[in-house]
């Protein structure tokens, strides 16, 4: 019971980790455009103000732009009391962009009370752990879609690491190894860890229970099984039904807690989950 209470206390204020998502909001800062892997389900070519999916942003911000936006949001009488979390989730991979760390340092200097949260594919996690400790990161989301490199090779076309471009099973194996080691190190650091897994029917469904067991052993706090958004290489794949998704979550909840309110947010989302505000126009 003590462990459960400790975990509950750690996510208070964070709507994406099980905190009160009806009251507490988040602000995503799109300062990280570069990415070091190619996911078959990812596309960043389109932007619509009413579109909610990862990788979408109305524009990429510089760290200087980002701190100005945070000041505006926190000074606003509607959004200021609502926003508890500053997250960086793209539109590329935050760990592959130095602007991520510069932005968090600027925010920490002016708004140390805000929870700092980051989402990553995990390729650079072991390399960046000391930096994450230095910036005082609270919450970490890692997208982990496969443990078996054979399955990973169907999802990722290439991985760029340490000046090399690796393809197929070789690239997938390196990605998985770094993801798992990074999750282990992040848990040792005391970060609150959420695992995002995209359910791709016919590709990685059998991997999901293995992932839930492994990440629980490594110290992850909660898991978020997300439906595929059919696009890019998987545009022809039918996403899992709501019933299938619910069944997966119920089954894996026996192993690790499941986050069930995800709306697969934009990289520039502001506000409550499911009630995002127009990124470039806030209420007066």
Task: Give the position of tokens 């995209």.
Answer: 198
Task: Give the position of tokens 């590329």.
Answer: 92
In a domain, 3, yes or no: no
**84-111: average pLDDT:** 94
Q: Which residue has the higher pLDDT, 47 or 148?
A: 148
Q: What is the pLDDT of residue 42?
A: 83
In a domain, 4, yes or no: no
Cα distances (Å, whole numbers) of residue 139 to 10, 109, 198, 227: 9, 18, 19, 22
Please report the sign of the dihedral spanned by the C-alpha atoms of residue 156, residue 160, residue 161, residue 166. positive
Q: Which residues constitute the domain of residue 259?
A: 24-276
In a domain, 15, yes or no: no
Banded pLDDT at 238 (limits 50, 70, 90):
very high
Task: Give the position of tokens 């509607």.
Answer: 78
Decide: 194 and 15 in contact? Cβ < 8 Å.
no
Which of 44-53, 101-110, 121-130 is predicted with the least confidence, judged by mean pLDDT?
A: 44-53
Instruction: Sort 45 into a burial class: Cβ within 10 Å, 0-12 / 13-18 / 19+.
Output: exposed
Query: Which of 87, 86, 99, 125 is CA-nearest to residue 33?
Result: 99
The string of pLDDT tens digits covering residues 189-219 is 999 999 999 999 999 999 999 999 999 999 9
| Number of structural domains found in the chain | 1
Average pLDDT, rounded, for the chain: 84
In a domain, 242, yes or no: yes
In a domain, 11, yes or no: no
The string of pLDDT tens digits covering residues 132-178 is 999 999 999 999 999 999 999 999 999 999 999 999 999 999 999 99
In a domain, 55, yes or no: yes
Instruction: Sort 75 into a burial class: Cβ within 10 Å, 0-12 / 13-18 / 19+.
Output: exposed
In a domain, 32, yes or no: yes
The whole-model pTM stands at 0.83
What's 245's domain CATH number?
3.20.20.70
In a domain, 201, yes or no: yes
């Amino acid at each position: 019971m003590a462990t459960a209470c400790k975990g509950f206390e750690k996510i208070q204020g964070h709507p994406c980790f099980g905190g009160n998502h009806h009251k507490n909001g988040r602000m995503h800062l799109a300062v990280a455009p570069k990415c070091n892997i190619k996911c078959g389900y990812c596309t960043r070519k389109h932007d619509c103000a009413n579109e909610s999916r990862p990788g979408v942003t109305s524009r990429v911000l510089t760290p200087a732009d980002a701190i100005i936006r945070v000041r505006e949001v926190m000074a606003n009488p509607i959004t200021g009391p609502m926003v508890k979390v500053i997250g960086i989730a793209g539109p590329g991979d935050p760990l592959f962009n130095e602007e991520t760390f510069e932005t968090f340092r600027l925010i920490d200097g002016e708004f140390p009370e805000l929870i700092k949260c980051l989402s990553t594919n995990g390729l650079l996690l072991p390399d960046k752990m000391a930096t994450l400790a230095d910036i005082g990161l609270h919450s970490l989301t890692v997208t982990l879609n496969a443990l078996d490199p054979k399955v990973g090779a169907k999802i990722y076309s290439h991985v760029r690491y340490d000046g090399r471009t690796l393809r197929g099973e070789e690239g997938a194996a390196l990605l998985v190894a770094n993801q798992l080691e990074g999750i282990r190190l992040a848990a040792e650091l005391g970060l609150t860890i959420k695992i995002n897994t995209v359910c791709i029917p016919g590709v990685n469904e059998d991997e999901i229970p293995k992932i839930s067991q492994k990440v629980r052993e490594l110290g992850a706090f909660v898991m978020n099984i997300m439906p595929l958004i059919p696009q890019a290489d998987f545009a022809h794949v039918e996403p899992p039904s709501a019933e299938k998704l619910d069944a997966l979550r119920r089954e894996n909840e026996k192993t690790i807690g499941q986050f069930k309110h995800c709306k697969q947010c934009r990289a520039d989302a502001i506000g409550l989950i499911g009630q995002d505000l127009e990124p470039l126009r806030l209420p007066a």
